[in-house]
Amino acid sequence: MNNNEDNRDPFIIGKHVFGNLYGMDPNILTNEEFLREIAIKAAELANMVIVEAKSWKFGGLKGGVSVIVLVQESHIAIHTWNEYNYATVDIYTCGEKSDPWRAFRYIIDMLKPKYYVVNYADRTQLPIFLTSEINK
């Protein structure tokens, strides 16, 4: 093994929290600046390192706002559809010290949906051992 392989973590920790938000205030759903600020603050509260934040506002049928905060650990995304009073939130991190649940709770507190559905996926990559290592 080379020196880089000796110093690496035995596996990647992946935590993915994502949800659907219903019955939201249309004024919030179309406020691009407010949504971007929420996503940035959520990343900070979750102990993520922000690389860049971008947002876009879309008009017309199925218009809304999309926000993505790229973090060293992965991303936070918020997508809204104002005519449906609906939004989705996606928080994925491979950071051992980051907390996607804290980010999700903050976003929910700020967006105030009437109700929401939240999901979690463990995306941890388990250690992979070569057959020769297992037979030692």
- How many residues are there in the chain? 136
CA 84 to chain centre: 22
The residue type at 75: H
pLDDT at residue 25 in the model:
94
Q: Domains of the chain (ranges plus CATH)?
A: 12-130 (3.60.90.10)
The catalytic position among 16, 55, 94, 98 is 94
pLDDT at residue 14 in the model:
86
Token pair 């297992």 in the structure block, residue: 134
Annotation marks residue 74 as catalytic:
yes
What does the DSSP 8-state code read for residue 84? G
Annotation marks residue 79 as catalytic:
yes
Query: Can you tell me whether residue 115 is helix, strand or coil?
Result: strand
Alpha-carbon distance of 14 to 122, in angstroms, equals 6
Beta strands (DSSP E) in the chain are: 15-22, 50-58, 64-71, 74-81, 86-93, 115-122
Question: pTM (2 decimals)?
Answer: 0.83
How would you write the pLDDT of the chain (136 residues) with one tens digit per residue? 444 555 555 666 889 999 999 999 999 999 999 999 999 999 999 999 999 999 999 998 889 999 999 999 999 999 999 999 999 999 999 878 999 999 999 999 999 999 999 998 887 776 665 555 555 5
The catalytic position among 55, 75, 79, 132 is 79
Query: Can you tell me whether residue 85 is helix, strand or coil?
Result: coil
Torsion over CA of 42, 44, 50 and 31, rounded to 10 degrees? 40
